[in-house]
Structure 1
């Protein structure tokens, strides 16, 4: 069973943001991973911990298991002022899981689709 790490923001920690739609999409994505026989591991970053503590915790997570694919969520890529965090996350994944396919999603609910595409690309390399 392929191991998948999904990295994103904990929607409940983003100030002034309604977490319900994103939380529902995360739950939908988790159900789809299970239906596809993919073992999902969530790493949700507390939005208030962007001071480097989140990066240290991510390194611990990346070192704790071997992952076939890692998804970097849209909030980390698309949020204003988050380019430095996005770059750090991608580099940490590359350095600590060099054999993992890296996937990006449009929403938490479509993560499984992008993982399947990334795993297919990995097989065909």
Structure 2
């Protein structure tokens, strides 16, 4: 935890319904369990006085997703950007993760990046 309170945080990750390797499902759960963890986490963030803005990318539609993400970054005036564990840890999407980080640092260079340890772990990174 950084000790800095953020008032508006962009939280990005993959849609919970995308195909994941079995070890990811063992770590993070079913699509429904992941969705419930994200909902609970975002409610905790809101109760802390932080506005969470969620962006769930479909990695099978990367071009559209990256364009939508760029619009959010340009228009959002965020205090922090959180990138979910699924985006970072899925070996098939390493290049996409790098593209996302580079876009964040290009479009919103002064906004800190936050990294959670999985679904349900974003509240701690946003505090």
- The two structures have a TM-score, normalised by structure 2, of 0.83
The list of structure 1 runs, each at least 4 consecutive aligned residues, that deviate by more than 2 angstroms after superposition, is: 15-18
- Structure 1 unpaired stretches of 5+: 117-125
* 8 A contact 1:4–1:68 mirrored in 2: yes
1:76 aligns with 2:87: yes
Provide, for residues 81-125 of structure 1, a one-character-per-residue CA deviation record: whole Å limited to 9, x for no partner.
111001011111111112211100011211011122xxxxxxxxx
Q: Do residues 9 (structure 1) and 20 (structure 2) align?
A: no
Would you say the 8 A contact 1:69–1:102 is kept in 2?
A: yes
Distance 2:14 2:70 in 1: 16
Alignment: residue pair count: 114
Counterpart position of 2:71: 60
Residue 10 (structure 1) shift: 1.1
Which structure is richer in relative contact order (CA contacts within 8 A, separation 6 or more)?
A: 2
TM-score (norm 1): 0.84
Structure 1 residue 47: Cα displacement: 3.2
Say what the alpha-carbon RMSD is for the aligned residues: 1.5
